[in-house]
């Protein structure tokens, strides 16, 4: 077995995932007419959504304060870097990949960017109700577009993590932290060989 994700990385993933799922469920009730009408109780659903948002932000901050920030920064540097192999991979060709393949890098970049935009647009939705000077023309539209884009991203992510036979072994990496060396060598050869100094 090889270690893929430490405690901080896994904590960040699951804190974000659980916060996102609570906000997605309540957000869809607030957004989709069928669910709004069926569930009603708008003030209650709204409060759960907003408290989940505050809880999510605090928990993320806590992971960043208490966790291994150096490791997270190294992850982000790795995620941002698209080398020649990554660019080939994105064009649909076979290319040797590092600890994150290019698709995982795109997913991570979009997830973080969406989280930032969800937080900003959500804050202005909340504030705009309280002071209409901060009720911008497109705040709701941005929040809703992010919702739809995130659902698409999440669907692909869940398919690859839970169903697709050749990739679902990766789930072990984000739960237990390690993955089998054979699997890693096949899917992320540059990482395994780099790690072993080969």
The distance of closest approach from Cβ of residue 153 to another protein in the complex, given in angstroms and rounded to an integer, is: 12
Q: How far apart are CA 111 and CA 154, in angstroms?
A: 9
Q: How far apart are CA 158 and CA 168, in angstroms?
A: 9
The distance of closest approach from Cβ of residue 79 to another protein in the complex, given in angstroms and rounded to an integer, is: 6
Contacts with another protein by CB under 8 A lie at: 31-34, 36-37, 40-43, 77, 79-83, 86-87, 105-106, 109-110, 112-114, 116-117, 120-121, 124-125, 128-133, 135-142, 144-146, 148
The distance of closest approach from Cβ of residue 104 to another protein in the complex, given in angstroms and rounded to an integer, is: 12
Q: How far apart are CA 166 and CA 115, in angstroms?
A: 28
> Which lies closer to another protein via its Cβ, residue 35 or residue 178?
35
| Residue 175 near residue 10, CB atoms below 8 Å | yes
> Which lies closer to another protein via its Cβ, residue 23 or residue 179?
23
The distance of closest approach from Cβ of residue 43 to another protein in the complex, given in angstroms and rounded to an integer, is: 5
> Which lies closer to another protein via its Cβ, residue 9 or residue 86?
86
Q: Measuring CA to CA, which residue among 104, 79, 115, 119 is closest to residue 161?
A: 104
Q: If you count them, how many residues does the chain have?
A: 198
> Which lies closer to another protein via its Cβ, residue 110 or residue 177?
110
> Which lies closer to another protein via its Cβ, residue 83 or residue 186?
83
Which residue's entry shows tokens 């089998």?
180
The distance of closest approach from Cβ of residue 26 to another protein in the complex, given in angstroms and rounded to an integer, is: 14
What is the DSSP secondary-structure string of 135-167?
--TTHHHHHHHHHHHHHHHHHHHHIIIII-TTT
The distance of closest approach from Cβ of residue 122 to another protein in the complex, given in angstroms and rounded to an integer, is: 11
Q: What is the dihedral of CA 146, 32, 50, 45, to 10 degrees?
A: -160
> Which lies closer to another protein via its Cβ, residue 70 or residue 137?
137
Q: What is the dihedral of CA 189, 161, 17, 118, to 10 degrees?
A: 80
Q: How many CB atoms lie within 10 A of CB 51?
A: 12
């Amino acid at each position: 077995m090889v270690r893929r994700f430490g405690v901080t990385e896994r904590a960040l993933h699951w804190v974000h995932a659980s916060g996102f799922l609570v906000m997605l469920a309540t957000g869809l009730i607030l957004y989709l007419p069928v669910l709004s009408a069926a569930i009603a109780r708008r003030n209650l659903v709204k409060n759960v959504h907003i408290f989940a948002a505050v809880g999510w932000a605090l928990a993320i901050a806590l992971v960043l304060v208490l966790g291994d920030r150096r490791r997270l920064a190294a992850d982000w540097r790795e995620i941002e870097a698209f080398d020649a192999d990554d660019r080939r991979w994105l064009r649909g060709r076979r290319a040797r990949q590092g600890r994150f393949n290019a698709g995982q890098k795109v997913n991570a970049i979009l997830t973080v960017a969406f989280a930032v935009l969800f937080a900003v647009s959500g804050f202005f939705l909340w504030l705009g109700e309280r002071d209409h000077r901060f009720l911008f023309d497109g705040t709701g539209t941005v929040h809703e577009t992010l919702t739809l884009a995130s659902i698409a991203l999440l669907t692909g992510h869940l398919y690859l993590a839970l169903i697709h036979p050749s990739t679902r072994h990766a789930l072990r990496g984000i739960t237990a932290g390690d993955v089998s060396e054979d699997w890693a060598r096949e899917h992320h050869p540059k990482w395994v060989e780099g790690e072993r100094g080969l």
